[in-house]
Structure formats: structure tokens, C-alpha cells
Structure 1
Amino acid sequence: MKRCIFIALLLFSCFTSKAQTDYNYQALIAEASLFHLQKDYKNAILTFEKAFLLQKPDALNAYKTAGVFALDKNKNEALKYLNIALDKGWTETDALLIDPYFDFLRTDFPEEWKLIEKRAILNEEHYSKTLKFPALRKQINLMTIQDQKLRFIKSQTKDPIQIKALNKEINALDHKNLTEAKEIIKKYNWPKISEIGKDGQNNFWLIVQHADQDIRFQKMALAKMEKLVGTKEIDLENYAFLYDRVQCNLNYKQTYGTQVNWTKNGKASSFRPIIKEDSADKRRADFGLLPLKIYALNYGFQYFNISSEQALKNDSKDLDDVLQLINEAKKYCKSKDFQKVYDNYNNASMILGGMSSEQNYEAAVLFAKIYNETNEEQYRSISLDFLTLLFYREDLEKKKLMAETEFKSFYTEERLIEIFNNI
């Protein structure tokens, strides 16, 4: 009996030790990734190396480390980790061949770089033969390379004129990629890992994730992804990211805690509101995602878990705040202080998960009425904003919409015409 207890305790101790090692490893990887983003390459290198003392790198982290060493002009270590990445199965050859992180190696050590290229191309050829749609994977990966290239250039400049020009290019490319992505979804549904590989699917997800200008498409793509949940044909982390992205775009709270708040200086400050936040880590664990405490380190802020009581209090407070703002707006409406009506409803609409669909519709009618009385553009615009949100939520009835006389003055507006045509 004592022997059984001893063995059980030993197994528990080993399991606990491994779990702690994994936790420490992931925390260090997150910290190193942040140093990388902050262009603090020396500390990124030191932290990656600390992590690798605990656990050997996979292909992705070896590739990241190679990039940091290359940016730090360390040829030998950059080549070492590139070879480790290739040994571990790195297959994104198209990205590797033009990755600006490795310009130093390409320019100063062309012979060594050619050997890396040769290995990468062989990896790619072998991997492509295992996929059902290798040409589709190639198409998607090339789309993403251009996407990431422009965003990388933007991250390297502070020139406002160049940033403006790059934003224009990025928007044009996003539109082009969106058009192609729609055709891909139409033909293939959500492409499976066995069809285009994990890298191809990850890159396709990235394109959809950037399609915030078309929330209806994001919702449709998410529905296609959802059909693959529970199989080995999808990356659950990508599903969680897109799920949260869509939820936030529909003005709901997120579920998995993948979306963060950004400050004006481009730094992340906190997570966007999470529904039932106390159980978010459990939902994340079900999808194989890291705890929020570690995930936050990737963005450079600290996160502390909250109790179920605090989570319930936060959710209730948001609803109470919305109700208070709406009630105040209605009081201002009676006194015809329409600007304060606008301000209060605008503030209420910015509380994720706050306004119900019924409250959104009520606001749309109210501002249509104010517009009809004042003929001021901002009231027409916000009324259509509320209606558009309900349309995206698929929570708008055409019959009810057409029966509302306050909306008759909007009948020639493009946004309302689109709603009527697609509802």
C-alpha cells in the first residue's frame, strides 16, 4: 500500500514539475517575443536562450530566434537556428526567401544563405506532396507575404507621409485579398489543414482576420470554421481569435480573451472586455491556449485573474452603466438637448456587451426622429450605425423596419438600401 502511495506521489510530482516547466517556458517565450517586438534584440536573445534551457524550440520559435539573431548581426547563431527550424519541419519557404529579417545573411553571406534556401525548397517540395491543394496553399501564402511585407515596412517608419501612403496600399491590398478570400471560401469552404497545410490555413485566417471592413464575411467564414471544430483539420487558436474578433465587431464581449486594447502610442494596455472573465482560462485551455496571465506578456502588460464574484460584478456594472446612460439620454431628449442625447448613446454603444439589440433598435428610431426634426447629419449617421449593427447581428426584421415611419427619410441612403437588399 505504501509503495502504491509512493508511486502515485512520484507521478504527481513529475506531472507537476513538467507543468511548471511548460508554464515557465511559455512565459519566457512570451517575454522574448515582446522584446522582439520592441526591437530589444539583445534581451530577446537572452530570454529565448533561457527558455530553450527548459525546453527545445519548435520550428516556429527556432525561426523567430534565427530572425532576432540575424537582426543582431550574429551570423552563426542565426544560421544555427534556421537549420533547427528546418530540421523541425519549417515549411514556409516563400516567406523565408524574402523575409527582411534575414537581409543581413542574404547580403553578407550569400553562399551560406544559398544552402539555407536549398534546404528550405526541398522541405517545401516534400511537404507540398502531402497536401490535397498545394497550389491553393501557394496562392494563399503569397497573398499573406505581401500583406505582412507592407505592415512590416509600416512598423519600421515614423514618417507620417510614408505611413499615410502605406495605409492606402494596405487598404487596397486588404480589399484585393478579401475578394480572393471570398472566392476561396465559395469554392473550398474553410480549407482544411490536410488540404493546404497548417501554414496555409494560418495565413488564410490572417487574411480573414484583417477583413474588418466586411463583418458579414467574417461571420460567414467563422461559421465555415466552426464545422471543423472537433476535428484535426483546424487550428483552434485561429478559431478563437476570429470568434472573438467577430464578437467585438458586433459589439459583444469576447469569449476567449484574444483581443486587446491599444493606446494611441501603439502599445497594448489590457484585454478588451471578456464575458464571464473568471472562466476564460478554462475556455482557453479547452482550445489549447495559454492562460491569460502568460498571453498578456506577449503584449507587454500584466494580467491578474479575477474571482467569479468580481466577474459577475463587472458584467452587471456594464449593463447598469448602459442603462444609466440611456435613461439620461431620454431625459435630455425631453428637453431637446440632442447633442447630449447623442453623447450619452454614443458612450453607451462603446461598452462591449452593454446595449441589447432592442436598445440598439430603440436608439435607431430615436435618432431618425431627431434627424427628421433637425436635419443634422450626425443624427442620421448614428441612426444608420445602430441599424447596420443590428443587420450584422442578423437581428433586424424587414417588415418591422419598413413599418417604422421615421426611417422613410433614409430610403435613398446606400446603407439602408444595402440592408433592405440583403435582410
Structure 2
Amino acid sequence: MKACPGLGGWAAMHPHVDEANAREDAGRRVTDPALRRELAARGEADQRARDTALAAGMRDPVANKAMLVVDADNLAWLKAVVARQGFPTPDAVGAQGVANAWLLVQHADRDPAFQAAVLKTLESRLAGSGVRKADVAMLTDRVLLAQGKPQRYGSQFKPSQDGSPVSEPTEDMAHVDQRRASMDLMPLADYQCMLRFSYAPAQATDARAQQARDVGTDRQR
């Protein structure tokens, strides 16, 4: 928060997704608790692998390879789930379960066709419950970039040689903040500041990763 002063005001007006999901799921009896537990375990593995890679500024080949192994395992498992019963719903796994399923799709870059297919499902659910606009926006950017097109919401960055984040090509940058606001994403300048802080090599890695989750950026989620 000290490094990026604009984050405080934004975070105060936007409850973190995990807190919002916990409130929505309070007292809910899901129809597939086993699937919800598996999604939670795989979501935790996803974030743990990314926190480890982030600790080295995404420049440790061992940590990066371990992250890709987790992603590949999660992708194969989730594709089988979706083929068998469709993309999870809040009734089946709760709001947090849906968020965990989305997280696995967001990091399934080795299968852009699967990401695009899930995106269509999530777009069709936007008017209902269980899908966050921010999640649809971030997956949209991933799908567009995989198709060789500029992203729409500026959510995707890549590390440069020195570890600092560099934006992927983005359409109509003059109006990107309007598009981000419409999808419940923080202003791009605040997001860039958080990324610069998060990707810099640090001793206080655990604190940095936790701060990124507390603010609810589109870096990992």
C-alpha cells in the first residue's frame, strides 16, 4: 500500500473476492462437496506454485518449471471434469469453487481452445450468479492474446529481462480504464504499480504475495 498509494482507496471500495465468496457461501449446501474440496486443493497448489516463482521474480527455471507442471496437471483434470459434467456451478461447488475452477482455466495457457470454450460459458453466465466480471475480463485478455490479437483490458503482462513487468499489446489504450472499470478492475496505473512491486526480487516475498491477494489484483487471480 505504501509503494502504491492509489490501491488503498480502490481496495476499500472493492471487497476481496475470497471474502465476498465466503459471505455468499455461508450456510450454502452444495451438491458436489467432493468436487469443491478438490477445486480448493488445486487452487491452493496453483497459488503456492506461483508464489514460489514470484519469490524469484519469475526468473528461477526450477520454480517456473514446477509451476508449469502444476498447471498441466490441473488442466488435464479440469478438462475431464468439464467434459463429464460441464463447467462447475455455484449450486454444485459454491462461489469459491467456481472461482477456483476459473483460476485453473486462467492458467491453462497450453490449451487456448479450452480457455476460449470456457470463456463462452462464463460470458453466458454473466447475467446470473457465480461469475465475476473481472474473471471474464482477465480470461478474455488471455484468449485474445492466444489468438494473436491485442488484449482488451490490459490485465496481462510479461516479465522483462530484469524481471520488471511489461504490458502485452492492448487495444485502444486511451479508453482502457473505462473498460477496466466496467469489469470491476482497478485503474491500470495502480495495477502496474502493484505488478512492479510484486515482481521485483525481494526478501519479503510472502508479505508481497499476501498483499497482492488482499488487494485482489488481476496478477494471479
The alpha-carbon deviation at position 127 of structure 1 amounts to: 3.4
In 1, distance between residues paired with 2:20 and 2:105? 26
Which of 167, 182, 192 is 1:286 aligned to?
182
Percent identity among equivalent residues?
A: 26
Alignment of structure 1 residues 56-95 onto 2, 5 Å: 58=15, 91=22
In 2, distance between residues paired with 1:189 and 1:257? 29
Structure 2 unaligned spans of 5+: 198-221
Check conservation: 2:28, 2:94, Cα contact below 8 A.
Answer: no
1:179 paired with 2:76, answer yes
Structure 1 unaligned spans of 5+: 1-27, 33-46, 64-87, 92-122, 302-423
Q: Which amino acid aligns with 1:273?
A: P
1:134 paired with 2:30, answer no
In 2, distance between residues paired with 1:29 and 1:195? 40
Larger Rg: 1
Match of 2:215 in 1: none
CA gap of 1:29–1:187, structure 2 versus 1, over 3 A, is farther
Task: Give the paired residue count.
Answer: 194
Q: Which amino acid aligns with 1:274?
A: T
The alpha-carbon deviation at position 228 of structure 1 amounts to: 0.8
In 2, distance between residues paired with 1:283 and 1:55? 20
* Structure richer in helix, relative to its length: 1
1:31 paired with 2:4, answer yes
Check conservation: 1:244, 1:255, Cα contact below 8 A.
Answer: yes
The alpha-carbon deviation at position 128 of structure 1 amounts to: 6.6
Which of 39, 52, 65 is 1:153 aligned to?
52
Which of 186, 191, 196 is 2:88 aligned to?
191
Q: Which amino acid aligns with 1:258?
A: S
Query: What's the TM-score, normalizing by structure 1?
Result: 0.40
In 1, distance between residues paired with 2:114 and 2:180? 25
What's the C-alpha RMSD, in Å, of the aligned pairs? 3.3
Check conservation: 1:226, 1:239, Cα contact below 8 A.
Answer: yes
SS at structure 2 position matched to 1:202: helix
The alpha-carbon deviation at position 30 of structure 1 amounts to: 8.4
Check conservation: 1:30, 1:295, Cα contact below 8 A.
Answer: no
Which of 167, 172, 182 is 1:276 aligned to?
172
Check conservation: 2:49, 2:70, Cα contact below 8 A.
Answer: no
CA gap of 1:179–1:229, structure 2 versus 1, over 3 A, is same
Give the structure, 1 or 2, with the largest relative contact order (CA under 8 Å, sep 6 or more): 2
Match of 1:23 in 2: none
Q: Which amino acid aligns with 1:31?
A: C
Which of 186, 198, 205 is 2:102 aligned to?
205
